[in-house]
Structure 1
Amino acid sequence: MADDVKLAVIYYSSTGTVHQLAEAVAAGASAAGADVRLLRVAELAPREVVASSQPWATHAAATEHIALATPEDVFWADAVVFGSPTRFGNVASQLKQFLDTLGGLWMQGLLADKVYSGFTATSQLHGGQESTLLALYNAVYHFGGIVVPPGFTDPIKFVDGNPYGTAHVSGGQGEIPVDDTARAAGTYQGKRVANVTRALKAGRRA
């Protein structure tokens, strides 16, 4: 159907927190009727570094079956929701490297007018959630994309407290589980992005 929304959730996760948020976003988008691709980006850290951390190694092994994102997935999508843990208040290098592979599509104008959104996790409270999402959205501005944040458009966001995108405080090794509030926020964000994208597609056809 012409109003079907194609949505890609593209993320990086080391210990699994951002992966769980990605699943919630994908579930929300699917519930809103979108055709969803849940995709991870490639790990850049050496194998021995990953193996030195049990949570990191365990999560890497558990998610090997999830397909790696490619620029074609972004070209395919009407909307893309990116997920990244915070690295010194910025996007993780693994996701940034993927963004840098999109230069060819950008030069052709093929990233423009799509919908984009983001989510994140930090080890500590006030550990850079907002700055990470704002840094992520810098790329979207260069794409000519349309940022659709959750804002405070649903009561869950007043509990989650981050209008820039779903966020969770995970602890240093992901020892603080993703809670119901974060999952609900991610699900809501996925639904919102899918519904806004569908409305934009309908408006363009009018």
Structure 2
Amino acid sequence: MSNVKLAIIYYSSTGINYKLAKMAEEGAKEAGADVKVLKVEELAPQSAVDSNPAWKAHVEETKNVPVATSEDLVWADAIIFSAPTRFGNVPSQMKQFIDMQGGLWAEGKLMNKVVSAMSSAQNSHGGQEQTVTAIYTTMFHWGAIVVAPGYTDQSAFTSGGNPYGTTVTQSQDGNMIEDVELAVKHQAKRTVQVAKWVKNGQSN
């Protein structure tokens, strides 16, 4: 029986969602998945990146992280998206990647993918949960199987855990205010577990 193939696709300007993606990678590998951590393409002009030292440093730090492609979606049994909120919605970088998948959608190659999502913002009510559910709205159109954490683990009751998908608040110094590692790892493991059920059922 082959392992679940999980693509963790993120957008991060200064590093928070990259850190969430790496936590999810660790949890998914503990659950036995084959994992790819992939970033979406940066759309902001270089001048904007250069004007923010933290942004510029993160771009340099992650220059070797592969850029997500449609082929990665075809490869994956499961996908975890992670992106910061932008005015309560999905950032344009992630939105463009998702919007470019119309061909796969038309061919039925995105249906039954097992999907979960995470997000961040600079204040505790900055739109994180709205961003997660916005991603899920598109997943319903794909015919994907959305796997939210729900209240399936104690981490849902701790900082950052919630029933929609792990969310985190970024402090002024660029770090996470909440300790969300347990919540992220549970979400990743739950996503992998459901993907195993789906994959095994399809192979019978």
Bin of the TM-score, shorter chain as denominator length: over 0.9
Q: Which whole-Å CA distance do the structure 1 matches of 2:9 and 2:157 have between them?
A: 25
Instruction: Measure the CA separation in 2 of the matches of 1:136 and 1:65.
Output: 26
Secondary structure at the aligned position of 1:75 is classed as helix
* In structure 1, distance between residues paired with 2:113 and 2:66: 22
**Count of matched residue positions in the alignment of Structure 1 and Structure 2:** 203
Deviations 1:14-49 (A, max 9, x none): 000010001011111111000000000110000010
2:144 is the counterpart of 1:145? yes
Q: Residue 176 of structure 1: CA displacement?
A: 4.8
CA distance in 2, matches of 1:6, 1:179: 31
Aligned to 2:16: 17
- The AA in structure 1 aligned to 2:168 is H
Secondary structure, aligned partner of 1:39? strand
Aligned to 2:70: 71
Q: Tell me, yes or no, if the aligned pair for 1:156 and 1:185 is still in contact at 8 Å.
A: yes
Distance 2:49 2:150 in 1: 35
Q: Which runs of 5+ in 2 are unaligned?
A: none
CA distance change for structure 1 residues 161 and 27 in 2, over 3 Å: closer, same or farther? closer
Query: Structure 2-normalised TM-score?
Result: 0.96
Q: Aligned AA for 1:191?
A: K
Alignment of 1:114-125 (within 5 A): 114-125=113-124
**Which one scores higher on RCO, CA 8 angstroms, separation ≥ 6?**
1
Q: What's the TM-score, normalizing by structure 1?
A: 0.95
Which residue pairs with 1:190 in the alignment?
A: 188
- Work out the CA distance in 1 between the residues paired with 2:68 and 2:174: 27
- 1:135–1:180: structure 2 CA closer, same or farther, 3 Å change rule? closer
Aligned position for 2:53: 54
Distance 1:46 1:53 in 2: 12
Change (3 A) 1:77 1:145: same
Q: What is the CA–CA distance in structure 1 between the aligned matches of 2:71 and 2:177, rounded to whole Å?
A: 33
Does residue 163 of structure 2 align to residue 163 of structure 1? yes
Moved more, 194-203 or 28-37: 194-203
CA distance in 2, matches of 1:27, 1:161: 17
Give the 3-state SS of the residue equivalent to 2:179 in structure 1: helix
Question: Could you tell me how far 1:162 is from its partner in structure 2?
Answer: 1.6
1:134-157 Cα deviation digits (max 9, x unpaired): 111111011000000111110011
Does the CA contact (< 8 Å) of 1:112 and 1:143 recur in 2?
yes
Q: Please give the alpha-carbon distance, in whole angstroms, between the structure 2 residues aligned to 1:91 and 1:24.
A: 21
CA RMSD of aligned residues (A): 1.3
For residues 34 and 178 of structure 2, the distance between their equivalents in structure 1, rounded to whole angstroms, comes to 24
User: How far apart are 1:171 and its partner, in Å?
Assistant: 3.2
Q: Distance in 2 between matches of 1:154 and 1:119?
A: 16
Task: Write the distance in 2 (CA, Å) between the matches of 1:22 and 1:130.
Answer: 17
Q: Which amino acid aligns with 1:164?
A: Y
The one-letter amino acid of 1:96's match is K
On the 8 A contact 1:29/1:36 being kept in 2, the answer is yes
Q: Matched residues in 2 for 1:86 and 1:179: separation? A: 16
On the 8 A contact 1:156/1:181 being kept in 2, the answer is no
Kept after mapping to 1: 8 A contact 2:11/2:40: yes
